[in-house]
Amino acid sequence: GQQVQQSPTSLVLQEGENAELQCNFSTSLNSMQWFYQRPGGSLISVFYNPSGTKQSGRLTSTTVIKERRSSLHISSSQITDSGTYLCAMENTEGADRLTFGKGTQLIIQP
């Protein structure tokens, strides 16, 4: 079964609204990361967040390892935030290897 579940699969918001993206893991994990991908583009690491809360500008990531979940919060969303956000985990068996969720497609409208 899918080890990494992301929700929602897509999210359409108006510019200025806040976005909340969720990631749940079915197995124990060592760490997790959030990546951003533009259509046809490469993946860019947004957060490496094995546990706790991290903030970078308008983005905040919270990971609760014991509950096997992580969230990405985007405040005051902008059109340029549009794209796909993927979470990935390093499980306790596969050192260095990441297992990805299928992503949340975020569309910010003017």
User: In this structure, how many other beta carbons lie within 10 angstroms of the beta carbon of residue 63?
Assistant: 27
| Member of 12, 102, 107, 109 binding other proteins (CB under 8 A) | 102
User: Within 10 A of 81 (CB to CB), how many other CB atoms are there?
Assistant: 18
Residues in the chain: 110
> Which residues in 24-63 contact other proteins (CB under 8 A)?
31, 33, 40-45, 48
Among 105, 82, 77, 80, which Cα is nearest to 15's? Answer: 77
User: Please, which residue, 75 or 82, has the CB nearer to other proteins?
Assistant: 82
Q: Which stretch binds other proteins (CB under 8 A): 20-28, 59-67, 75-83, 90-98?
A: 90-98
Q: Which of 22, 58, 75, 100 binds other proteins (CB under 8 A)?
A: 100
What values do phi and psi take at 57, rounded to 5? 60, -125
Shortest Cβ 17–other proteins spacing (Å): 26
Helix/strand/coil for 15: coil
Contacts with other proteins, residue ranges (CB under 8 A): 31, 33, 40-45, 48, 86, 88, 90, 94-103
